[in-house]
């Protein structure tokens, strides 16, 4: 009778630790790219919005600074020797960033609707938001995959923050295009209010620690359950 070869526990533990280190390093690179892009995006959007008298573009630029805050919190966490220890405080920072984003979008959208602010045509704003619609979902997906495999709720929560910023990019882009082509100045603020609702929901989940990520404990339980008994 053939006996199944047992894999030494030490080898399995070492491989898991190596993979975790790779994932942490990957998240740090993704977060660094997110911070760098959002800093550029903020400067360009605020400048273009000021020239075009576009509250939507200025708000979009300020939203980028909020995304920098969220990504910066995750970057700080993953420079710690024990990142899991700082999971809850980092989630709270991300939750506050979500709430700040929602508050700003609601206020700016309502002011735009009440004041009937009509922005001028902004080729720079259209180009910037179009690029963001492509780049931000890619960064969000990469961070979410790494965060889920690592079991990091903060990385997944930050990826959702990035995804909501991508939705906001799309909303601003659609608003700028509709305003340019048809004079529909109200399209962007209405879309912004919908995005604010999503931001509040994600903020509540992050505050409670539920960022659609599988916890480390659940990952270990699933790994144990899937390991054949020998």
Phi, psi of 171 (to 5 degrees): -65, -45
Angstrom distance (rounded) from CA 87 to CA 152: 8
Could you give the dihedral angle defined by the CA atoms of residues 28, 31, 36 and 38, in that order, rounded to the nearest 10 degrees?
A: -170
The predicted pLDDT at position 137 comes to 94
Alpha helices, DSSP H only, in 53-120? 55-77, 87-115
Q: Give the chain's radius of gyration (CA, Å).
A: 21
pLDDT (tens, 9 = 90+) of the chain, 230 residues, equals 445 555 455 556 777 778 888 888 899 899 999 999 999 999 999 898 888 877 778 778 877 887 888 888 888 888 877 777 788 888 888 888 889 888 888 888 888 888 777 667 889 989 999 999 999 999 999 999 999 988 888 888 888 888 888 888 888 898 888 888 888 878 777 877 877 887 888 788 878 875 444 333 333 334 344 444 44
Q: Which residues contact 30 (CB under 8 A, 6 or more apart)?
A: 139, 142, 143, 146
The predicted pLDDT at position 39 comes to 94
Q: Which residues contact 120 (CB under 8 A, 6 or more apart)?
A: 51, 52, 53, 54
Name the region of 126 (left: φ>0; alpha: ψ -120 to 50; beta: rest): alpha
CA atoms within 13 A on the CB side of 45: 27
Look at residue 56 and give its three-state secondary structure.
helix
The predicted pLDDT at position 7 comes to 47
The predicted pLDDT at position 73 comes to 84
């Amino acid at each position: 009778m053939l006996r199944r070869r047992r894999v030494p526990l030490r080898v399995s533990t070492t491989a898991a630790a190596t993979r975790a280190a790779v994932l942490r390093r990957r998240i740090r690179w993704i977060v660094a790219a997110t911070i760098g892009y959002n800093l550029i995006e903020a400067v360009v959007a605020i400048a273009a919005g000021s020239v075009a008298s576009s509250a939507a573009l200025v708000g979009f630029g300020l939203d980028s600074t909020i995304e920098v805050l969220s990504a910066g919190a995750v970057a700080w966490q993953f420079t710690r020797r024990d990142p899991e220890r700082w999971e809850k405080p980092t989630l709270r920072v991300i939750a506050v960033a979500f709430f700040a984003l929602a508050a700003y979008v609601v206020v700016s959208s309502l002011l735009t609707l009440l004041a009937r602010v009509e922005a001028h045509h902004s080729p720079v704003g259209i180009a910037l938001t179009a690029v963001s619609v492509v780049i931000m979902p890619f960064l969000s997906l990469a961070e979410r995959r790494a965060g889920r495999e690592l079991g990091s709720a903060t990385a997944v929560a930050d990826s959702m923050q990035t995804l909501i910023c991508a939705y906001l990019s799309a909303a601003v882009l659609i608003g700028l295009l509709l305003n340019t082509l048809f004079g529909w100045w109200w399209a962007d603020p209405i879309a912004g209010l919908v995005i604010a609702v999503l931001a509040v929901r994600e903020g509540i989940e992050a505050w409670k620690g539920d960022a659609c990520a599988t916890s480390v404990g659940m990952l270990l339980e699933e790994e144990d359950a899937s390991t054949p008994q020998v």
